[in-house]
Every structure is written in structure tokens, then in C-alpha cells.
Amino acid sequence: MDCKAKSAEGGDWAAYFSWLAEQGCRFPYIQVALHADGERALRAKKSFDGKDEIVFVPRSLMITPGLVHQSPLGALLKEHDVQLHSSQTLIALFILEEKRRGNSYWQFFLDHLPETYDHIPAYFSDERLDELKGSFTYRPILYRRQLIQREYETVRDKLGAVRDWSFEEVRWALTVVNTRCFSLPNEEGKDEPVVVPLADMMNHGEPANAKWRCDEPGGGLVIRARGPIAAGRQITISYGQKTKGRFFASYGFFDLNNDRWQAVLPIHIDKDDPYFGEKQTFVHRQQGPRFALHYRRYEKLARALRAVRCLLTDWHVAWERRMVLAGKVVSQENERMTMMYLVGLCRDALEAFPQTLEEDRALLLDETRMSRLSLPEQSVVQLRCSEKQVLTRVAAFAASVADLLEADTQEVLEVLVKPEAVEAWPPALRRWFQSWSEEMVPVLFAESGSRRLEEPLTRPMIGDDGEDGDEEAMLSEDAPKSSEK
């Protein structure tokens, strides 16, 4: 995108840039752009060719866990036996310590950090957060808030006599680190959170026009152009292949081009089930009992289907139990029941939201009402709507398959081998159907006693429509930008 914000050439920014250059940072052809909403960006002062170096930041400018451990603060934490949950908290406390000192080596950097983070979900009021009930993002945000509270209480209880940091200060510093740190290898090659002055102002882009990496373990950070970048364009990097919900929970935004939509589907096991322990273990192996369903990716749905088969199978029957544990389809009737059960789970998940999908869609189309909402409030509506679309899509797929499985086994086989009936489906749903049918066909052959059909079982794969790679775990307090080596 073109960077329309005004540039920041003089005053405090000039002094900050001079300090960076004096410390060995290289960035001769970039400038800071200030947006009307207070956000910052870096833009190109000249055109870059592919692979041109845009920024280099030496290790000596970075704030690392190792640096904090070797500092007086590190000695104080050790003396008082302060056990922190995260290395990010270690860096956050160092930032607070240096900011209060007033004459820190990093003073220019500290003076240019944002003063508030009201757009970050960890700062949301309970009322605003309630608007996300039912959402995949609700639990990670709650977890983040609880983590901040727990870290603050640890620091207060252990260091209250020597440091009077308030909850607001600790929350601010933790948010600074969580939203701005990179994951870089230290001297031993182990990745750790690191705060990198200047580079921390680069925004996320989809697609990004620059990429970054560490020049060597424990070395500096190099940012290069991915391809040609015109003068005046904003320089963007990738914060990683995260879903919309992960971006929003961590950074308070998501790119509208991001189609990695995700919804949560909880599955409950009856504790009175005589096989409760075994079933619970199996469901956990499938990454349950809260399953992250994606708008496109079938393998996430496949894990939820295996878990539901587990619930609906008679474990007293040895061969059925073996089929479930092997991740196989059990029978046509069991699979029909599995799909109907999945439809019910999706409907329950949709009812957990305060609003219906139709209400959110109507709100998104109402420009007058949307204009009255703040940007975070608009994002909440967009996020809710995308998650409900995932659940609605899964429910529609499962209902269609359940209807198909009502038919005679031979009729079902003919549809699975010659799937003209689903040609009108969206590409992602057709891929889901193909992946599922490859598991289903052997079971139907066995049940029908068929040895052959007129057409071969194999068929061309339906074209891809841009699936993303694996996603990080849902509940993570750390959201560092991960390297694109």
C-alpha cells in the first residue's frame, strides 16, 4: 500500500535516527510516517530492487533475555527468587527499569514507544470482551489478561518493597514486548524473544514486500526487499502465518486479505462412560477437546470427525474400537450419525455467540451503523462473522454428507467415485468431500461386498485454492514475529 501519512523528519525523530546510526544501525533510505490515528510506519525514500538491504540492526542495540540476566535488574530478580512465566516479562521489566532511570542507553528508543494500547484486546473492558463470547479468540484474550495479572502479582509480591511498578505499568510494558518483539536465535542457536529498535515499527503486510532474518546466531537483524519497492511505499514484513483470531488477540488487528478463518468446536465426553479415560486420551491425541476448525483445511475437520466417531462407537465391540483407534471410518451408519452429531455441535457453537450470523452480516452491510463503531469494535464484528461462517460451512458439509449416507450403499459408492453431485460446491468443500470420500470408500466396498466398479477409484485432485500452513497453538501468551528463513 502507499504510505499516505506525513513523514517525521525532524525534532525527536531526527535525534532518534542519529542515535541509531551512531550505534551501527544501517537504514539510509527509509523514513518514519505518522498516521492520523497515531500509528507509525516505515516507508521507502527511494526505490529498492529485489534483495536490496533496507535495514540492518546490530545485536548491541537489541534488548534480549541474556542482556537482562546480566544487568542489575537480573541480579535483583535472582536475589528475590522471582519466577516469571515468560522471557517476555523479563524484557518488559527491563524496559520499565530503564524508562524510570531516565538516562538509559535506550532512552531515545524508550521515548518513542506508544503511550497507550487501547486497541489491544488485553485492554478491552469486560463489556467489550463479552461481544466475543463464543469466539475462538475469546479464550486466548482471557488467558492473556490472566497472564498479565499473574505476572504483575508475582512482581508485586516479590519486589514490592524495592519496586513500586503499578499494574498499568506492567501491562503496558508486557504489551510493548508482546506486540513488538521478534523471535531470533541466540548464540546457542535457540530462538528467544528479542526487542529490536527501529525494526519494531515495521507493520505486517499480506503479502509483505520485505523479509527479515538473523545474519547468524546471536547476530544482527537484516531486512531485505522481496522484490521491487517504489519510493514512497510502506515497507512491510510478515508477522507469520497466523489466523485472523490470533492476529487480533495479539496485535489488535487483522488484514482483510487474511482468509485463514478459524472457529472453535468443543466436544464433551461423558464422564460416566466406562471408557472415559481411553476416549479422553484419544480425543487429546486429535488435538481436542476444543477443535480449531478452519475455513479451508480439511485435516482440522478430520481430527474432529475422528473424535466424534470415538464418542459414537460401541467400545465393547473390539473391531469397532480398533477402527476408531486407527483413525478409520467405522461403518456407513456410524458415519451418518457422526455427521449428524457434528451438525448439532456446530449449531450449539453458533448459539454460544450473542448474535446470529445474519445479524452480524446485516451490521457489516450497514455503513451508517458501522461508521459509529470504533476500529476495534468493527474488527470484533468482522471476526465474529468469519468464525460463524466457518461453523456454518462445516455444518452444511456435514448435513449434506449425512443426507447422502441415507441412501443405499451402492448408490453412495457411485456418488463417491463419480462425484458430479458436488461439482456445484465451492472448491474447498469439494476438496473436503474428496478427502473424506477416500476414507469412506473402502468401508462401503466392505459393507456392500463389491469388488469393482465401472470406473477406477482414483481420480484427479481438485485444484488448490490457497491453503495456508500450520497454525500456532490457540493459547499462547507470546506472539513474536517468526523468521522467514
pLDDT at 34: 80
pLDDT: is 469 or 298 the higher one?
A: 298
Asked if residues 214 and 185 have their Cβ atoms less than 8 Å apart, the reply is yes
Global confidence as pTM: 0.82
Write out pLDDT tens, residues 166-225: 999 999 999 999 999 999 998 888 999 999 999 999 988 888 999 999 878 888 999 999
List, in order of start, the domains of the chain with CATH numbers.
61-251 (3.90.1410.10), 262-448 (3.90.1420.10)
299 by Cβ neighbours in 10 Å (0-12 / 13-18 / 19+) ranks as: exposed
Write out pLDDT tens, residues 358-385: 999 999 999 999 999 988 889 899 989 9
Q: Which pLDDT band holds residue 226 (cuts at 50, 70, 90)?
A: very high
Task: Kindly list the distances between the CA atom of residue 37 and the CA atoms of 103, 119, 208, in Å, as whole numbers in the listed order.
Answer: 29, 11, 22
Query: Is residue 473 predicted with pLDDT exceeding 60?
Result: no
Instruction: For residues 437 and 414, give the distance between their C-alpha atoms in angstroms, rounded to a whole number.
Output: 11
Cα of 245 vs its chain's centroid, Å: 6
Write out pLDDT tens, residues 388-438: 999 999 999 999 999 999 999 988 988 888 767 677 777 778 888 888 988
- Taking the CB of residue 112, how many other CB atoms lie within 10 A of it? 18
Q: Which residue has the cell 509483505?
A: 208
pLDDT at 7: 39
Write out pLDDT tens, residues 3-42: 333 334 445 888 999 999 999 999 999 988 887 666 788 9
Query: Is residue 445 predicted with pLDDT exceeding 50?
Result: yes
Alpha-carbon Rg for the chain, nearest whole angstrom, is 26
How is the beta sheet containing 53-57 ordered, strand by strand? 53-57, 221-225, 210-214
pLDDT at 36: 64
Q: Which residue has the cell 533475555?
A: 65
Q: Pick from 67, 78, 76, 75: which is nearest to 104 by CA?
A: 67
Residue 348 in grid coordinates? 450449539
Residue 247 in grid coordinates? 492476529
Instruction: For residues 79 and 170, give the distance between their C-alpha atoms in angstroms, rounded to a whole number.
Output: 20
Cβ partners under 8 Å of residue 294, min gap 6 = 243, 260, 261, 262, 300, 301, 390, 471
pLDDT > 70 in the chain, percent: 88
User: Hey, which residues does 42 pair with through a beta bridge?
Assistant: 32
pLDDT at 483: 52
Query: Is residue 466 predicted with pLDDT exceeding 80?
Result: no
Alpha helices in 289-421 (DSSP H): 298-312, 318-325, 332-351, 357-365, 367-371, 375-404, 409-417
Q: Which helix (H) or strand (E) segment is 98 a member of?
A: helix 87-101
Cβ partners under 8 Å of residue 145, min gap 6 = 122
Write out pLDDT tens, residues 282-308: 999 999 999 989 887 888 899 999 999
Q: Which residue has the cell 519510493?
A: 231
pLDDT at 427: 79
Average pLDDT value over all residues in the chain: 86
231 by Cβ neighbours in 10 Å (0-12 / 13-18 / 19+) ranks as: exposed
Query: Is residue 469 predicted with pLDDT exceeding 60?
Result: no
pLDDT at 472: 39
Length of the chain: 485
Instruction: For residues 58 and 221, give the distance between their C-alpha atoms in angstroms, rounded to a whole number.
Output: 7
Q: Pick from 295, 103, 66: which is nearest to 188 by CA?
A: 66
Q: Pick from 56, 55, 39: which is nearest to 229 by CA?
A: 55
pLDDT at 376: 87
User: Hey, which residues does 224 pair with through a beta bridge?
Assistant: 53, 211
- Taking the CB of residue 411, how many other CB atoms lie within 10 A of it? 11
pLDDT > 90 in the chain, percent: 61
pLDDT at 430: 83
Query: Would you list the DSSP string of 270-299?
Result: -TTSTTHHHHHHHHHHTT-SEEEEESS-HH
